[in-house]
Amino acid sequence: MSLLSVLLQVATDLAPVAKMGAGIGAGIAAIGAGIGIGKIGASALESIARQPESVGDIRSNMIVAAALIEGVAFFAIVVCLLILFL
């Protein structure tokens, strides 16, 4: 009961605090992108270590996959920016 009233007070009196949601969302998006690209980098390095002559192929595939994952992270960033500026 008191938690609800605290939340209601935050939502009405301290409206700019709502923008904190944008910051939290952006942080979580960064975590997601970091984990995803970290996994790609790890498996790319491992496969380069296994077969050093395929460095070129692995490098280009790694960059493509990283760009695609960053695209998804940028969705979250765009939503957070919309919260802040709309």
Backbone angles phi, psi at 48, to 5 degrees: -70, -40
Give the integer Cα–Cα distance in Å for 70 and 72. 5
**CB of 2: closest distance to another protein in angstroms?**
35
**CB of 59: closest distance to another protein in angstroms?**
12
**CB of 6: closest distance to another protein in angstroms?**
29
Which stretches of the chain bind another protein, using CB under 8 A?
60, 63-64, 67-68, 70-71, 74-75, 77-78, 85
Q: Are 21 and 76 in contact (CB under 8 A)?
A: no
